Chain A
Amino acid sequence: MNTAPISPIRLLIPQDVAALAVGAERVVKAITSHAAADGTAITITRTGSRGLFWLETLVEVETPAGRIAYGPVNPQDVPGLFNAGFLLGGAHPLRLGRMEDHPWLKGQTRLTFARCGIVDPLSLEDYEATGGYKGLRHALSIGPAAIVAAVTKSGLRGRGGAGFPTGVKWKTVADTKAPQKYIVCNADEGDSGTFADRMIMEGDPFCLIEGMSIAGIAVGATKGYIYSRSEYPHANRTMRAAIAEAYRTGRLGTDILGSGVTFDLELRVGAGAYVCGEETALLESLEGKRGQVRAKPPLPAHKGLFGQPTVINNLISLATVPVILAEGAAYYADFGMGRSRGTMPIQIAGNVRHGGLYETAFGVTLGEIVEGIGDGTATGRPVKAVQCGGPLGAYFPPMLFDTPYDYEAFAQRDGLIGHGGVVVFDDSVDMAAQARFAMEFCAIESCGKCTPCRIGSTRGAEVVEKIMAGREVDANLALLEDLCATMKFGSLCALGGFTPYPVLSAVRHYPEDFRRRHAAAAE
């Protein structure tokens, strides 16, 4: 009889909301009760997601041969997995082997998402064992000017969509004298098809805390705010717990890591207004006001939150700062093409077989992303359109699949990469309906401050409606073009200014969808 104490077998199961949405909690329950009935000792660590959402719920088992993964696991698979000896890495149709060897992960360059899905998001021990706080320690040793220089040299650009060089923004704030400066993280990730910010908050929140702390040291800001979304209740819970843990262990507060430097951090939650992802509307909202866009100048770097100099960066930009400081600017800048340096977490979504988060160096083509990495549509029908960069991004037809994923290359083709969302549609989509939706969405979300956006969006939806009904199609198409030009050049911010991208790209690439009724009437 074996009386030696057996240490429990460790399983890792994501708590990412996308895993929960496909039943992760029921899988955990099934495994726990089966193990209890068997008398097998197990512990389950909840992680973020590795970002291969078609394999969720992904269950990994720690074995002497490494972590062996099984997926997608449903509760009814659990008895079979136990019978197959999955706790020892046994063979089973769902066995995927080591995730490190999985082609979808092997093809990636994970710098910002290096830890996501691998560590316990709230364990500082895990975080530091995987290089966490190396960047901040280095930042403290080199001082503000050298931090700004490193971020500038890395070529990091704003990952929210505008692509403005992060280092230049930081330098402006660092050079502005003021009694109080702020670091604001834009985590108002409202673009459909994007979930990178959410995954970091759920899967590696300390990385964001470290990045914001480094930004604070670099520009002399002692207070930071994360502006997240009410649509992300799970992410907000994890982020709040991580902030509390960082305070408890002296990583936030008046003496971070014993350096004497102060950095305070607070999470605030929006209230369902898409326009608050625009940086000046976000600042208004943080101040407790209507999320209305401010005219620029003054830039937030000069007069931002509560009128003080403010670094406002996208979450992914800030979460990328630790690796730049830890590994060096040149290491990061070595990835990418042209003026797009480093890596981009591309989020492949919508009607796609292999949807998820794919972090890779800039330069991969759109076709490789959709047909190669994404493996085509989930429905198995041909791809008709791909919307890149959220609701304000252009629709790309397969004809343009040779476009390299790069800020400038997308701009040249009247598109934008935005926050990295790629939404795939099959051939059942009606592009006139999509153009109408783009205008309707703008009308719903317009802050109302400028006329081209406030009125133009409602008129735009009406005009597309008329076109769809086959009424004076040529005249209304000309009117739509004209209206889009007014919105593009006359709006205060990207909401009204970029809504023409999805509308006009739909008109340009899918003219037949706007002339259906017209053609039918002519017959």
Chain B
Amino acid sequence: MPNPSLRPTWDPFRAEAIIADHAQMPGALLPILHALQEEFGHVPEPAVPLLADALNLSRAEVHGVITFYHDFRHDPAGRHVVKLCRAEACQSMKGEHTASHLLRRLGIDWGGTTPDGSVTVEPVYCLGLCATAPAALVDGEPHGRLTPESLAGIVEEARRA
């Protein structure tokens, strides 16, 4: 996973190159959106007309697809992204309690980013880690059997790194 702090700011030429790389695939829009988010950390608004043009869609259609999917961010995330599972198996192991501890500690709500821009906490519904619940992906790395203490430690370690 690329270091989010090293992500480039909006670059229309880079965006056009990414779009051109995928435009010939059947059903290209989702792969392109993933690639744009991988590059920029979110899907920047100026990409919408470029996508519409390349794929022969209206801007409204492109906007409709971006906003339908929970994954695509409209704004850059923090330098570290914590994806915390809120689904039933994690609930059964006090996942909500663990999550609310972290959110309180960071002073943010679900989907929020700390004021220093270091951590974003996003909800996910199932990571397939249901027998080692509660679970999270921190910067793409899996962590299971979380407690409020262990999760705080993992997040602090990521922040210091």
Given A190-B125, A274-B125, A291-B69, answer yes or no on A425-B143 (Cβ-Cβ < 8 Å): no
Q: Name which residue of chain A comes closest to B64, CB basis.
A: A290
Interface contact A350-B92, CB-CB below 8 Å: yes
Contact assessment for B128 and A232 in the assembled complex, using a CB-CB cutoff below 8 Å:
yes
What is the CA–CA distance of A17 and B143 in the complex, to the nearest angstrom? 9
Which residues in B have their C-beta under 8 angstroms from that of A274? 125
The dominant DSSP class at the A interface is: mixed
Q: Which 10 A-B pairs have the closest CB atoms?
A: A355-B131, A21-B144, A192-B87, A349-B130, A288-B29, A271-B69, A272-B70, A350-B92, A271-B71, A195-B128
Whether A286 touches B125, Cβ cut-off 8 Å, given contacts A272-B69, A291-B69, A350-B88, is no
Give the contacts of A402-424 with B (CB-CB under 8 A): 421, 423-424
A394 to B27: give the CA distance in the assembly, Å. 36
Q: What residues on B are CB-neighbors of A193 within 8 Å?
A: 88-89, 130
Whether, in the assembled complex, A382 has its beta carbon less than 8 Å from a beta carbon of chain B, the answer is no
If over half of B's interface residues share one DSSP class (helix, strand or loop), that class is named, otherwise mixed; here it is loop
State A348–B29 Cα separation when bound (angstroms). 36
> Nearest Cβ in chain A — how far from B93, in angstroms?
6
What CA separation (Å) do A445 and B124 show in the bound complex?
Answer: 12
When chains A and B are docked, how far (Å) is the Cα of A193 from the Cα of B141? 20
User: Is the beta-carbon distance between B30 and A271 smaller than 8 angstroms?
Assistant: yes
Residue A498 lies at the interface, judged by CB distance under 8 Å to chain B: no
Whether B142 contacts A21 by the Cβ 8 Å rule is yes
Min CB gap B13→A, angstroms:
23
- A22 lies within 8 A of chain B by Cβ: yes
B152 shortest CB reach to chain A, Å? 17
Q: Which of chain B's residues 67-116 have a Cβ closer than 8 Å to chain A?
A: 68-72, 83, 87-93
Check B88 against A391 for contact (C-beta < 8 Å).
yes
Asked if A60 lies at the interface with its beta carbon under 8 angstroms from chain B, I say: no
Tell me if A234 and B142 are in contact (CB < 8 A).
Answer: yes
Is A348 in contact with B131, judged by CB distance below 8 angstroms? yes
Q: What 0/1 pattern do residues 18 to 61 of A give for CB contact below 8 A with B? A: 10111000000000000000000000000000000110100000
Contacting pair A286 B27 (CB below 8 A) = yes
B155 within 8 A of A: no
B130 and chain A: residue at smallest CB distance: A349
Within 8 Å CB of A100, what residues of B? none
Q: Choose one: B26, B88, B124, B145; the contact of A22 (CB below 8 Å).
A: B145
The answer, among B26, B64, B128, B143, for a CB contact under 8 Å with A189, is: B128
Q: Which residues of A contact B33 (CB under 8 A)?
A: 271
